């Protein structure tokens, strides 16, 4: 790189070079080769030489200390270094943290180097038989002091880094309040869940009742219009099964009439006599071999009417 415009001559015939190191140069020791052209006015010959320079980088630091739980056995602090010119993480910066209390009876120091992401985490661990750091009665107030003596960092930035942070230690009462808050929160969530489930279940049942009522009413209309009895009742049964399965009152691969009867009773919490009459109509239509006459039609219409009346009394849904 050309630096002829950065050469400053002194009165005694010497010179110095002042320049900002380019971003591609690593922090710390670097070797430069200087080339000088012949200078007739100063009677200098051309030549070259190697010189060592030390590159310093401007760094912004972030620091912090984690909250220590009551009777917690460790204090965790962190520091993060970012180059001010490139805004990239700076690795291999030596950083130090000291944990101490007001009386300095406790004083521990840890040193490390920032990683590729520019950060380093200090972890002070209390090992029995010493009391845990979360025991405020033993240690009182705790502090963490963070600094760096790494000469790769500009001196002003090292001074700005020097910071002391108070360690927050949770008391037993705060921990207990937190536990109670979790308990109350859990109870509230459980109650809310029950309410939501109850609303969902009610709406599900109302929806099923409305659809079942429509099927019963439609079948009654078909019978009143003179449609073939056995076909109308069989189609009614098939439609009821579909609705019961849709609303999960009946499993899709059910095998017995008993399962259907249990499902219809679960979906229709109505008078048992009305349900027994409905069961009789279905059994007659599905399993009998004799001719179905007017008496059977009347019996079916009466059973459907009783079911519709029971649903209407519940006043949960409008009946068409």
Whether 196 and 308 map to the same domain: the answer is yes
State yes or no: pLDDT of 113 exceeds 90.
yes
What confidence score (pLDDT) does residue 204 get?
56
What confidence score (pLDDT) does residue 212 get?
81
What confidence score (pLDDT) does residue 274 get?
76
Whether 68 and 112 map to the same domain: the answer is yes
Burial class (CB in 10 A: 0-12, 13-18, 19+), 31: exposed
What confidence score (pLDDT) does residue 99 get?
94
Q: Tell me the C-alpha to C-alpha distance, in Å, between residue 47 and each of 4, 10, 43, 50.
A: 14, 20, 13, 11
What confidence score (pLDDT) does residue 62 get?
94
pLDDT in tens, 25-35: 777 888 878 77
State yes or no: pLDDT of 65 exceeds 60.
yes
Burial class (CB in 10 A: 0-12, 13-18, 19+), 146: buried
| Side-chain-side CA neighbours of residue 172 (13 Å) | 3
State yes or no: pLDDT of 39 exceeds 90.
no
Domain end among 121, 143, 170:
170
What confidence score (pLDDT) does residue 77 get?
94
CATH value at residue 113: 2.60.40.1940
Whether 286 and 217 map to the same domain: the answer is yes
Question: Could you tell me the residue range of the domain that residue 229 belongs to?
Answer: 185-314
State yes or no: pLDDT of 216 exceeds 80.
yes
Q: Which two tokens stand for residue 144?
A: 């963490």
In a domain, 176, yes or no: no
What confidence score (pLDDT) does residue 192 get?
63
Whether 46 and 146 map to the same domain: the answer is no
User: In total, how many domains does the chain have?
Assistant: 3
State yes or no: pLDDT of 295 exceeds 90.
no
Give the SS3 label for residue 275: helix
In a domain, 319, yes or no: no
| Residue showing tokens 């521990």 | 108
Q: Which two tokens stand for residue 61?
A: 């630091």
State yes or no: pLDDT of 240 exceeds 80.
yes
Whether 137 and 84 map to the same domain: the answer is yes
Q: Are 303 and 272 in contact (CB under 8 A)?
A: no
Question: Sign (positive/negative) of CA torsion 210, 213, 217, 223?
Answer: positive
Poorest-confidence range of 136-140, 178-182, 311-315?
A: 178-182
Domain end among 138, 170, 202:
170
Whether 235 and 207 map to the same domain: the answer is yes
Whether 48 and 131 map to the same domain: the answer is no
In a domain, 9, yes or no: yes
Q: What is the mean pLDDT of residues 43-64?
A: 85
Q: Whole-number mean pLDDT of the chain? A: 79
Q: What is the mean pLDDT of residues 277-294?
A: 75
For 81, residues 6+ apart whose C-beta sits below 8 A from its C-beta are 59, 60, 61, 89, 90, 93, 95, 114, 118, 119, 153
In a domain, 257, yes or no: yes
CATH value at residue 274: 1.20.120
| Spatial separation of the C-alpha atoms in residues 298 and 318, rounded to whole Å | 25
Whether 88 and 14 map to the same domain: the answer is no
- pLDDT class of 38 with cuts at 50, 70, 90: confident
What confidence score (pLDDT) does residue 187 get?
63
| Residue showing tokens 């502090």 | 143
In a domain, 63, yes or no: yes
pLDDT in tens, 141-153: 999 999 999 998 9
Q: What is the mean pLDDT of residues 114-129?
A: 92
Q: Are 282 and 237 in contact (CB under 8 A)?
A: yes
Q: What is the mean pLDDT of residues 267-275?
A: 76
Angle at Cα 149 formed by Cα 145 and Cα 151, nearest 5°? 150
In a domain, 210, yes or no: yes
- pLDDT class of 206 with cuts at 50, 70, 90: low
| Spatial separation of the C-alpha atoms in residues 173 and 83, rounded to whole Å | 43
Strongest mean pLDDT among 48-52, 164-168, 235-239: 164-168
Whether 158 and 196 map to the same domain: the answer is no
Whether 123 and 236 map to the same domain: the answer is no
Whether 191 and 258 map to the same domain: the answer is yes
Give the SS3 label for residue 9: strand
What confidence score (pLDDT) does residue 199 get?
52
């Amino acid at each position: 790189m050309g630096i002829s415009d950065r050469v400053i001559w002194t009165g005694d015939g010497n010179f110095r070079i002042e320049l900002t190191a380019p971003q591609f140069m690593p922090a710390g020791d670097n070797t430069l080769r200087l080339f000088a052209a012949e200078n007739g006015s100063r009677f200098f010959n051309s030549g070259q030489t190697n010189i060592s320079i030390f590159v310093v980088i401007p760094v912004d630091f972030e620091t912090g200390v984690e909250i220590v739980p009551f009777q917690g056995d460790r204090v965790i602090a962190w520091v993060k270094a970012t180059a001010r010119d490139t805004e990239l993480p700076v690795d291999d910066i030596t950083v130090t943290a000291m944990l101490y209390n007001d009386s300095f009876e406790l004083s521990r120091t840890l040193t490390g180097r920032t990683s590729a992401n520019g950060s380093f985490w200090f972890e002070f661990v209390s090992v029995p038989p010493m009391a845990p750091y979360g025991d405020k009665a033993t240690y009182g107030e705790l502090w963490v002091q963070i600094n760096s003596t790494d000469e790769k960092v500009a001196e002003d930035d090292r001074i700005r880094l020097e910071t002391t942070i108070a360690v927050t230690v949770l008391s037993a009462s705060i921990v207990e309040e937190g536990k109670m808050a979790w308990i109350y929160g859990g109870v509230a969530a459980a109650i809310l869940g029950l309410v939501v489930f109850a609303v969902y279940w009610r709406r599900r049942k109302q929806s099923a009742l409305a659809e079942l009522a429509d099927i019963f009413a439609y079948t009654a209309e078909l019978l009143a219009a003179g449609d073939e009895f056995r076909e109308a009742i069989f189609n009614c049964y098939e439609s009821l099964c579909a609705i019961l399965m849709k609303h999960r009152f009946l499993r899709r691969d059910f095998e017995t009439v008993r399962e259907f009867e249990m499902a219809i009773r679960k979906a229709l919490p109505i008078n048992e006599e009305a349900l027994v009459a409905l069961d009789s109509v279905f059994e007659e239509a599905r399993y009998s071999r004799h001719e179905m006459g007017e008496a059977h039609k009347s019996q079916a219409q009466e059973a459907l009417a009783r079911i519709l009346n029971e649903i209407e009394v519940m006043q949960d849904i409008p009946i068409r």
